[in-house]
Structures are given as structure tokens and as C-alpha cells.
Amino acid sequence: MKEQFYAYIQNLQDQIVAGLEAVEGKAKFREDLWDRPEGGGGRTRVIENGKVFEKGGVNISAVHGKLPEAMQKMFNVGEADFFACGLSLVLHPKNPMVPTVHANWRYFEMYDDNGNVIQQWFGGGQDLTPYYLFEEDAVHFHQTCKTACEKHNPEFYPKYKKQCDAYFWNAHRNEARGIGGLFFDYRKATDDMTMENWFDFVSEVGNSFLEAYVPIVEKRKQLPYTPEQRTWQEIRRGRYVEFNLVHDKGTLFGLKTNGRIESILMSLPPKVQWVYDHHPEAGSEEEKLVNVLENPKNWIAD
């Protein structure tokens, strides 16, 4: 399974980068290959200072070796060997009318002393973080997620949408990071779902990413915006940074397994503001967004 999934994310990285470069029209992704001293490495692809994307990355990695002590405590196990691979992407557009997007699809194995697999699971999802709320964009993104899920199980979309709202929650701000999407983790083999079934599901979601995001970018990338709207975007980006550094499991896993720091922190936007005790003007488009973030809604009717 690990060879199968790693081959899949290598191909998916190529597809997503090609699709995003076509939308960007100016900048190209720069590639960095890196090795992890303890075992494994990755292929980081980053775009900066584009016409559409101010900063972004589409990264893959496959790391292995001894499970670090911090992760042993997290998984409640003793010494063990592990393998983990995944694709992680974040895109921060220049125009505040275009939403930031994040996606991640990953696979994990852990072994006993004889090299036998004792645990294995999939995780991942994709979520949207707008700065100005266009409800038709939210519906499109969620409908694409729902369509991918329903090819495998009609219960997946409502379940993983709810998990996404719960996971991407900035508890210290009492608001969501964005308008959600899908989030699932520790998806293991059961009587109803084999690991091959989970692979098929995860790859279905991964393959839907460009369809979910690119039409939104195409629709919004040339809309006019003011300096004040750009300031709002940078303030909201600050909340994005807060979540990634305080709550995100992927960031913490990378830091605790001696991952490549440049690849891990690729998710952080280049220009951010923290304004003391900032509140949007009553009745404004900015307040409309905050109200939705404080009370996540269902974008697709049952």
C-alpha cells in the first residue's frame, strides 16, 4: 500500500502543479528535493510573487525510521519504526477576493520488531478560507466534496464536513479558520472498508481538488479590490497563521519528526498583520464573513 499511495501522490503533485500554473499564467513552481537524515525525504514545489498566487506550495514527502519519543506519547506506544507519506498544499492568492485553500492526503504505517505492519491508516481532506464570502463559491467547493464522497458512501460527506468544522476551529478565537470542506483521519480497515477501499476514496478526493478550486480562482482573480480590502486579507491571514502554529497536527508532526522546516512552514503567508483588538464595521462584508466563521453553516441542502 505504501508504494501504491506514494506513486499516486507523485502523479497527483504533477497534475495539481500543472493545473495551477495554467491558472497563474506568470510564475512557475520552483522544485526542491530534500533528504531527511533519519530516513526518507521529499519533493517541495513552491510558487511566489505570481500574478494570481502570492505564495503557495504543493509538497510531497515520504519519511521513515524510528518513531520519535514525542510521537510515541501521542500514539501511546513504545519504540517502533514508522513510515509516513503524503501530499500537502496551501495556496495564498494575491487578490483578497480569491480564497486561500489547503489540502492534504496522507498514509501512515507502524511496524513491530520483525517489520510486520501493526498499524496503518489514511487521513486527509481539503478546506477553503475566503476573505470575502461569495456563497456560490462555498456551495461549489462543498458540492464537489460531496460528489466525491458519495461515490463511496453517502454518509461520508456530512460526517467529514462536520469533522472539518471541528478540526479547523481556532478555539482561542472561538471561530473557524475558514468555511470548511472535508477532514478525516485514522481511517483503518474495517468489515466495511478495506485499505484498498480507503485508497480509492482518498484518491477520489485528491483527484477532485482542481475541480473544487480552479473554477473559483478563474471567477475571482480579476475582480478589483481596495487597499482596505487587502489590509483585511492580511489581518485574516494572521488567524490562519495562528491555527497552523498552535493547533495543526501536520505542522506539529513535521516539527517533532525532524521534518524539513522550509517545507513545513511553507503554509505561512508572506504578508500578515496583527491589529490590536480589531473588529469589522457593523453590517460590512467583513462582518458577514466573521459571522459565518463563528457559526459554521451547511452549504449543501440534504
- Please write the tens of the pLDDT for every residue from 137-156: 999 999 999 999 999 999 99
Residue 41 corresponds to which cell in the numbers above?
525525504
Q: Residue 230: what pLDDT?
A: 98
* CA dist., res. 289 & res. 281, Å (int): 12
- Please write the tens of the pLDDT for every residue from 72-110: 777 777 788 899 999 999 999 999 999 999 999 999 999
Taking all residues of the chain, what is their mean pLDDT, rounded to a whole number? Answer: 94
- Please write the tens of the pLDDT for every residue from 197-230: 999 999 999 999 999 999 999 999 999 999 999 9
CB 46 within 8 A of CB 24: no
Residue 284 per-residue DSSP state: S
17 closest CA partner among 84, 137, 138, 103: 103
Q: Residue 302: what pLDDT?
A: 63
In sequence order, the 6+-apart residues with CB closer than 8 A to the CB of 25 are: 51, 52
* CA dist., res. 104 & res. 297, Å (int): 22
Q: Residue 146: what pLDDT?
A: 97
- Please write the tens of the pLDDT for every residue from 21-37: 999 999 999 999 999 88
Q: Would you give the distance in Å from CA 195 to the centre of its chain? A: 22
Does the pTM surpass 0.75? The reply is: yes
Give the pLDDT band of residue 279 (cuts 50, 70, 90).
Answer: very high
Alpha helices of 247-297 — where are they, by DSSP H? 249-256, 261-264, 285-294
User: Could you count the other beta carbons within 10 Å of the beta carbon of residue 274?
Assistant: 12
Residue 89: Cβ-neighbour burial (10 angstroms; 0-12, 13-18, 19+): buried
Catalytic residues: 102
Q: Strand pairing of 117-129 and 30-35? A: unpaired
- pLDDT of residue 158 exceeding 80, the answer is yes
Q: Residue 118: what pLDDT?
A: 87
Q: For 279-291, what is the mean pLDDT?
A: 96
* CA dist., res. 212 & res. 226, Å (int): 27
Percent of the chain with pLDDT over 90: 82
- Please write the tens of the pLDDT for every residue from 29-82: 999 999 988 899 999 999 999 999 999 999 999 999 988 777 777 777 778 889
Crossing angle, helix 135-150 and helix 195-207, to 10 degrees? 150
Domains of the chain: 2-294 (3.40.1500.10)
Instruction: Tell me the β-bridge partners of 44.
Output: 32
Q: Which amino acid is at 16?
A: I
Q: Residue 260: what pLDDT?
A: 80
User: Could you count the other beta carbons within 10 Å of the beta carbon of residue 298?
Assistant: 12
Q: Residue 285: what pLDDT?
A: 97
Q: Residue 100: what pLDDT?
A: 98
